[in-house]
Amino acid sequence: MVDIALIVIVSNTLVVFATFVATLYRIKIERDQIKTFKGNVSAVQCLESFRKYVKAERSDLVEMDRVEMQKFLNYLEKLGEGC
């Protein structure tokens, strides 16, 4: 027969291993949440800067003709890639 001490050792080892794996998974989830949060903060900051710019330059933006507006929109598309 199998000694009870061996069963206890094996079961305790499995519990420790399962706890270790669960901890690693929790760390991964938290890291993903931090990346998402940082991305959201960056996006919010970009939008706030853009709102301030539009508010400050509203009259010039309204006076743009079609060609100038197209150039400006192309600029904004390229600028948005960095945010």
**pLDDT digit string (tens) for 53-63?**
888 888 888 88
Task: Write the pLDDT tens digit of every residue in 4-15.
Answer: 888 889 999 999
Check residue 82 and give its pLDDT.
57
CA distance 73 to 78: 9
Nearest by Cα to 83 from 54, 45, 53:
45
Please indicate, yes or no, whether the overall pTM of this predicted structure exceeds 0.75.
no
What percentage of the chain reaches a pLDDT higher than 70? Answer: 93
Task: Write the pLDDT tens digit of every residue in 7-42.
Answer: 889 999 999 999 999 999 999 999 888 888 887 788
